[in-house]
Amino acid sequence: MKNENIKDENNLLKGYIMMLYFSGSMVMFDPSTECVYDFWTKGMLKQLPVSSPNPDFVKAAALLRQSTERAQNKHELLKEDYLRLFSGIGKPLAPPVESVYRSDEHIMFDRSTEEIRNIYRKHSWESKFKNKIPDDHLGIELLFLTHLIEKYINSQAILERQSLTNEIVEFIQEHMLSWVPRWKDDVVNNASTLAYRGIALLVSASLEDIKKIIGENARK
């Protein structure tokens, strides 16, 4: 791949990283007033940092843009949705945890959780939320994925970049797209806010896009 093409690809991936950070924080943590102010009242979601023909991405962009137009009681509505979907008392409607979706018994911590930990160890990466948030929580997996993508972007060695390509594509396929689409459907079907529907669609579409971008450019 030519240097100018690599630069364009890196800039595109940086835009996706921004969206993954945003999406991951909204899924991991109770929406703070400051977060709501920054992303909604400042209009940051009216124009996402990248565009994509992916149908789910197009839907996500539209929903997030619409959500900025309904700012009244935004914090309270998002917090209520967050608790219903991901946390709170009782059974969450869309728990953002890989082992829940990949386990036949729908329980947290099974073989897939240990697989995730082994992958983290292989890359000498440790979640700063270890022992507080499950290692196979969507937000943690997104943080690890951004770590890999940032290493890929900053890599100057062809062999290292090729190795990271394989690692990123495999991680997305085996440990994210193996369950995130079902999680996305649960959020879309149960969320009461446009924002969380848009976030779920954005996560799923971004994973598909990143896998395609890195995989196709590696073949070139």
CB atoms within 10 A of CB 90: 8
The DSSP call for residue 97 is: B
DSSP-based three-state secondary structure for 96:
coil
What pLDDT was estimated at residue 124? 94
What pLDDT was estimated at residue 219? 62
For residue 49, which phi and psi values (nearest 5 degrees)? -70, -15
DSSP-based three-state secondary structure for 157:
coil
Rounded CA-CA distance 25/87 in Å is 14
Q: pLDDT under 50 in the chain at which residues? A: 106
CA 37 to each of CA 2, 43, 45, 61: distance values in angstroms, whole numbers, following the listed order: 41, 9, 11, 18
Rounded CA Rg of the chain: 17
Structure-token pair, residue 57: 């991405």
Residue-wise pLDDT for 167-205, tens only, equals: 999 999 999 999 999 999 999 999 999 999 999 999 999
What pLDDT was estimated at residue 41? 73
Query: What is the DSSP annotation of 114-143?
Result: HHHHHHHHHTT---TTTTTS-TTBHHHHHH
Rounded CA-CA distance 5/185 in Å is 35
What pLDDT was estimated at residue 107? 52
Rounded CA-CA distance 130/170 in Å is 23
- Yes or no: say if 77 and 85 are a contact pair by the CB < 8 Å rule: no
What pLDDT was estimated at residue 30? 87
- Yes or no: say if 5 and 214 are a contact pair by the CB < 8 Å rule: no
Structure-token pair, residue 32: 């703070």
CB atoms within 10 A of CB 155: 16
